């Protein structure tokens, strides 16, 4: 009697994990959002799709990319992951993501932002969110300076003039808010001036053409603007703007979630980014967003794709974006929402998004980003343009040479790369076999390492035993 | 003692010791020894996390590359400035505060808590507060304005960013070392001071010939630990400046972090970490050698 009870309990304990594991597919979903926005969507999805479980895990912007990369290196990548669109170039080129061309291609007409999810004609992710930056201006300061408060600066000259008129540091008023002291995001603020002036980072053949008369002209203007600027980090610029100390600043829609609550009396307008001149160039801004991807190790790509299709619908994404207002859904239908008509200023973002440019989707983007940031930052701190552009070119040469060495080695050993991934199935099929072979040698190396570790440990133990014996004896 | 060791044989006892040590030994091996060895091997390899299969032996290439890497050299110089600028100040300030708190007749508990407070706040939180204090329209400039001093963009100016981080670091850690000093001061026997007073020693002589030698070992400990920590400065830099402006606050660990997690060159990053390890070890050994030697010569006659 007693024994059977114990036995049945033991049996239950033994079977419990099996029951938990066996029944459902559990997909791990990494994202950067407050779980309170994501969990209700997941709950509803799980209700509609019995047998599929989604485990939500939040990562943060501070170290999210590190975590993803480390997890990938350890073979513990999540099944579904949210990636910043500027990271996509690297992840796609390195062959880390699952080709999802046949899973999402039919959605193309309904969504924006396909460019950062596409490489060599193949699709490696699903656009989720999109966002851009526009020109914020303080209407009260505009009025005080004798400027028209109903419209923002349309050209570079008007921007400079407005900043000049408002700038008065003695009275605690500054013309323009310029990002400084955070080198890693300068390109987002500077590149719109280059792009609008028909300048580029890479041309159609992927040659580095950053050093051009167009870019130099933009830099020249940017440095002139700096004379009438308050130089700080983004969050402190937003703070200064909120306190009515800044005339103009390039910022994002997240301020609409804060300014009306924190500073209801702040009278501000937003405008499209200024263009170089009335008859020259065009208004453009930085376009970025979030892409949902499946890693190659995804346990169930079909179920994951189903979840992504569910999550990216307007009904499920709009509530998330409405709360934080950091970015907007990539689904085009979202823009007919009353949120955009209620505040026409949000409509400016929609308008800007049409002309906004996404940075090059390139395997070297992370390195290119640094080159551009360094160039702008050094120029801002007084180095001559000739010197900084010369250094940018040198740096690009170095990076490209270094990477081509790595790439050649990579192609030789695992047979998958940006180029071969584009060729199609044959490379895809060939890759796993080659990988497992090389994986074998890595494993041997790891085993050897563990062996050495154990040996050293044993030595340490013997030493300890010896010491203890000596003391005792 | 002798009786006990007869009852329990030496081998049995060592087994017991090992049994009690085993949880520590195990974690030591898994979380310390293994990564240490692994990164040593990594530092001689090319390893891009995107291509784990490409793991290849590179010899001393990573170390050679360090010599020609301007960013690395700059980060080394920056870190050296940081160490030289913070460690002595923090130590002296901690000693001064400890002496004061120790001699306060009333409310020493309150002072102790106040000075210790910064060290229980997460350094990231402290850095975030300082970030807004250092802004051109922040608290520090408004404080300076009271005295008619011109404001500065503390974290934006190339020459001010590093001193600003150093100042914050000193503020954040002095309290902790003060508590350590206070503990050492409390342990100095009162009779020594009484005897010195009878002999007619003045306050300075008491401090020089009793207090300092008595807290000598604590001073070594604080200096060594503080130096090690300063070489490894990271969260302050990451939160306040991310190495900017124009690399003027890029410290070694921050450079290492960028190399590993932004550019994914794990082998090269491991080489940096081993160079850092060598520097720290050399510094610590030097400090211990010099200070301990002096402690024996002019030190406590116990």
| Domain ranges across chain A | 21-130+288-351, 132-287+361-402
d(CA B177, CA B102): 14
Once rounded to an integer, what is the mean pLDDT over residues B254-283?
A: 88
Q: What is the pLDDT of residue A447?
A: 56
A298 in Cβ contact with A80 (< 8 Å): yes
Structure tokens at B280: 């720290």
The answer to whether B262 contacts A366, with C-beta atoms less than 8 Å apart, is yes
The answer to whether B33 contacts A457, with C-beta atoms less than 8 Å apart, is yes
| Exposure on the CB side of residue B153, measured as CA atoms within 13 A | 17
Collapsing DSSP to helix, strand or coil, A23 comes out as: helix
Q: Is A384 on the interface with B (CB under 8 A)?
A: no
- Per DSSP, the residues of A120-176 read TTEE--EEEEEEEEEEEEEHHHHHHTT--TTS---BHHHHHHHHHHH-BGGGTBEEE
Collapsing DSSP to helix, strand or coil, B156 comes out as: coil
- Nearest Cα neighbor of B258 from B125, B96, B111, B69 is B69
Q: Which residues 67-106 in chain A show a CB within 8 A of chain B?
A: 69-70, 72-73, 90, 94-96
Q: How confident is the model at residue B163 (pLDDT cuts 50, 70, 90)?
A: very high
- Nearest Cα neighbor of A330 from A56, A115, A135 is A115
Query: Quick check: A435 pLDDT over 70?
Result: no
Q: Is B289 on the interface with A (CB under 8 A)?
A: no
Structure tokens at A352: 């800007």
Query: Quick check: A344 pLDDT over 50?
Result: yes
Closest CB to B242: pick one of A65, A183, A381. A183
Query: Quick check: A266 pLDDT over 60?
Result: yes
Q: What is the pLDDT of residue A8?
A: 56
- Nearest Cα neighbor of B168 from B237, B100, B219, B223 is B237
Q: What is the pLDDT of residue A260?
A: 87
- Pairing type for strands A328-329 and A126-138 reads antiparallel
Geometric angle at alpha carbon A280, from A278 and A285, rounded to 5°? 90
A224: phi then psi, degrees, rounded to nearest 5: -65, -40
pTM of the model as a whole: 0.76
Q: How confident is the model at residue B7 (pLDDT cuts 50, 70, 90)?
A: low
Collapsing DSSP to helix, strand or coil, B8 comes out as: coil
pLDDT tens digits along A289-328:
999 999 988 989 999 999 999 999 988 998 888 888 888 9
- Pairing type for strands A246-252 and A174-179 reads parallel
A275 in Cβ contact with A196 (< 8 Å): yes
- Partners of B131 on chain A (C-beta within 8 Å) are 233, 236
d(CA A294, CA A401): 30
The answer to whether B37 contacts A181, with C-beta atoms less than 8 Å apart, is no
Asked if omega into A117 is within 30° of 0 (cis), the reply is no
* Chain B residue at shortest CA distance from A69: B49
Q: What is the pLDDT of residue B152?
A: 82
Q: What is the pLDDT of residue A242?
A: 92
Query: Quick check: A431 pLDDT over 70?
Result: no
Closest CB to B52: pick one of A442, A450, A452. A442
Q: What is the pLDDT of residue A169?
A: 86
Third-level CATH fold of A132-287+361-402: D-Maltodextrin-Binding Protein; domain 2 (3.40.190)
B66 in Cβ contact with B275 (< 8 Å): yes
Structure tokens at A14: 């033994």
Q: What is the DSSP letter of B249?
A: T
Q: Which CATH class is domain A21-130+288-351?
A: alpha beta
- In chain A, the percentage of residues whose pLDDT exceeds 90 is 48
Closest CB to A378: pick one of B54, B246, B263. B246
The answer to whether A183 contacts B245, with C-beta atoms less than 8 Å apart, is yes
Closest CB to A472: pick one of B13, B46, B54. B13
- Partners of A449 on chain B (C-beta within 8 Å) are 34, 37-38, 41
Mutation target among A181, A366, A413 for the B interface, most CBs of B within 10 A:
A181
* Chain B residue at shortest CA distance from A377: B246
d(CA A39, CA A102): 28
A58 in Cβ contact with A65 (< 8 Å): no
Once rounded to an integer, what is the mean pLDDT over residues A427-451?
A: 44
- DSSP alpha helices (H): ranges in A245-332? 259-262, 301-311, 314-324
- In chain A, the percentage of residues whose pLDDT exceeds 70 is 80
pLDDT tens digits along B114-147:
888 888 888 888 998 898 888 877 888 888 888 8
- Least confidently predicted of A97-111, A137-151, B238-252: B238-252
B213 in Cβ contact with B298 (< 8 Å): yes
- In chain B, the percentage of residues whose pLDDT exceeds 90 is 24
Distance (Å) from the C-alpha of residue B209 to the closest C-alpha of chain A? Answer: 36
The answer to whether B51 contacts A413, with C-beta atoms less than 8 Å apart, is yes
β-strand partners of A289: A130
pLDDT tens digits along A174-226:
999 999 877 778 899 999 999 999 999 998 888 899 999 999 999 999 999 99
Query: Quick check: A264 pLDDT over 80?
Result: yes
- Nearest Cα neighbor of A453 from B33, B115, B43 is B33
d(CA A351, CA B116): 54
B156 in Cβ contact with A181 (< 8 Å): yes
Query: Quick check: B53 pLDDT over 80?
Result: no
B122: phi then psi, degrees, rounded to nearest 5: -60, 140
Q: Is B158 on the interface with A (CB under 8 A)?
A: yes
d(CA A414, CA A422): 15
pLDDT tens digits along A54-102:
999 998 887 788 888 888 877 888 999 999 999 999 899 888 899 999 9
B22 in Cβ contact with A441 (< 8 Å): no
Task: Measure CA B107 to chain center.
Answer: 29
Query: Quick check: A15 pLDDT over 90?
Result: no
β-strand partners of A129: A290, A329
Q: Which residue has tokens 């996509």?
A: A88
Q: Is B142 on the interface with A (CB under 8 A)?
A: no
Structure tokens at B88: 């002595």
Number of cross-chain residue pairs from A and B with Cβ atoms under 8 Å apart: 134
pLDDT tens digits along A393-419:
999 998 888 766 555 554 443 333 333
Q: Is A341 on the interface with B (CB under 8 A)?
A: no
Closest CB to A472: pick one of B5, B21, B136. B5
Q: What is the pLDDT of residue A81?
A: 94
Hey, do A21-130+288-351 and A132-287+361-402 end up sharing a CATH topology, with the first three levels equal? yes
Q: What structural domains does chain B harbor?
A: 1-33 (no CATH), 65-298 (1.10.3720.10)
Neighbours of A390 (CB within 10 A): 12
């Amino acid at each position: 009697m007693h024994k059977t009870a114990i036995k049945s309990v033991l049996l239950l304990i033994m079977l419990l994990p099996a029951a938990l594991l066996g029944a459902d597919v559990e997909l791990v979903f990494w994202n950067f959002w407050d779980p309170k926005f994501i969990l209700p969507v997941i709950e509803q999805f799980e209700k509609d799709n019995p047998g599929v479980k989604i485990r939500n895990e939040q990562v943060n912007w501070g170290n999210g990319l590190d975590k993803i990369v480390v997890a990938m290196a350890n073979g513990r990548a999540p099944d579904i992951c949210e990636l910043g669109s500027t990271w996509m170039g690297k992840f796609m080129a390195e062959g880390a993501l699952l080709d999802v061309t046949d899973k999402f291609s039919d959605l193309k007409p309904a969504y924006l932002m396909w460019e950062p999810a596409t490489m060599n004609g193949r699709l490696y992710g699903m656009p989720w969110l999109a966002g851009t930056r526009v020109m914020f201006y303080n209407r009260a300061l505009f009025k005080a300076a004798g400027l028209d408060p109903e419209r923002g600066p349309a050209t570079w000259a008007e921007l400079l003039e407005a900043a000049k008129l408002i700038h008065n540091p003695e009275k605690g008023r500054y013309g323009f808010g310029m990002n400084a002291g955070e080198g890693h995001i300068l390109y987002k603020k500077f590149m719109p001036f280059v792009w609008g002036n028909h300048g580029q980072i890479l041309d159609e053949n992927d040659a580095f053409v950053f050093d051009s008369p167009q870019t130099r002209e933009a830099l020249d203007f940017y440095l002139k603007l700096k004379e009438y600027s308050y130089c700080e980090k983004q969050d402190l610029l937003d703070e200064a703007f909120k306190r009515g100390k800044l005339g103009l600043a390039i910022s994002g829609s997240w301020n609409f979630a804060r300014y009306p609550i924190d500073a209801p009396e702040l009278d501000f307008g937003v405008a499209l980014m200024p263009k170089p001149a009335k008859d020259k160039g065009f208004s453009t801004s930085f376009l970025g967003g979030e892409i949902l991807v499946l890693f190659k190790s995804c346990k169930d790509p079909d179920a994951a794709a189903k979840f992504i299709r569910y999550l990216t619908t307007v009904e499920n994404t709009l509530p998330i974006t409405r709360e934080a207002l950091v970015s907007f859904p990539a689904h085009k239908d979202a823009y007919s929402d009353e949120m955009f008509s209620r505040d026409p200023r949000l409509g400016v973002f929609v308008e800007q998004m049409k002309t906004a440019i996404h940075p090059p989707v390139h395997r070297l983007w992370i390195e290119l980003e640094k080159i551009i940031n360094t160039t702008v930052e050094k120029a801002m701190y007084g180095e001559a343009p000739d010197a900084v552009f010369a250094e940018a070119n040198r740096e690009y040469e170095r990076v490209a040479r270094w990477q081509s060495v790595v790439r050649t080695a990579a192609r030789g050993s695992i047979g998958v790369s940006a180029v071969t991934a584009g060729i199609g199935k044959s490379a895809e099929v060939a890759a796993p076999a080659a990988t497992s072979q090389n994986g074998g040698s890595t494993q041997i190396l790891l085993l050897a390492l563990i062996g050495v570790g154990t040996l050293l440990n044993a030595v340490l133990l013997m030493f300890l035993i010896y010491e203890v014996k000596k003391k005792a004896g | 003692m002798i009786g006990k060791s007869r009852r329990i044989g030496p081998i049995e006892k060592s087994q017991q010791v090992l049994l009690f040590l085993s949880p520590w030994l195990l974690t030591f091996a898994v979380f310390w020894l293994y990564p240490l060895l692994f990164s040593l091997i990594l530092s001689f390899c090319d390893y891009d996390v995107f291509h784990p299969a490409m793991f290849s032996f590179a010899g001393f290439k990573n170390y050679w590359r360090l010599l020609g890497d301007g960013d690395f050299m700059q980060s080394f110089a920056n870190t050296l400035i940081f160490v030289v600028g913070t460690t002595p100040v923090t130590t002296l300030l901690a000693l001064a505060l400890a002496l004061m708190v120790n001699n306060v007749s009333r409310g020493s508990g309150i002072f102790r808590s106040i000075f210790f407070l910064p060290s229980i706040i997460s350094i990231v939180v402290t850095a975030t507060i300082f970030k807004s204090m250092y802004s051109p329209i922040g608290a520090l400039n408004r404080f300076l304005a009271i005295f008619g001093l011109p404001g500065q963009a503390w974290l934006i100016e190339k020459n001010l960013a590093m001193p600003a981080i150093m100042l914050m670091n000193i503020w954040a850690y002095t309290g902790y070392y003060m508590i350590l000093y206070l503990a050492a001061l409390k342990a100095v026997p009162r009779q020594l001071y009484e005897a010195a007073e009878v002999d007619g020693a003045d306050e300075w002589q008491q401090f020089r010939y009793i207090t300092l030698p008595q807290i000598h070992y604590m001073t070594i400990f604080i200096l060594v630990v503080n130096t090690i920590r300063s070489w490894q400065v990271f969260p302050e830099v990451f939160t306040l400046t991310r190495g900017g402006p124009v690399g003027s606050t890029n410290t070694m660990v921050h450079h290492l972090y960028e190399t590993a997690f932004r550019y994914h060159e794990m082998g090269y990053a491991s080489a940096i970490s081993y160079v850092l390890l060598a520097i720290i070890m050399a510094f610590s050994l030097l400090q211990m050698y010099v200070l301990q030697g002096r402690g024996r010569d002019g030190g406590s006659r116990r």
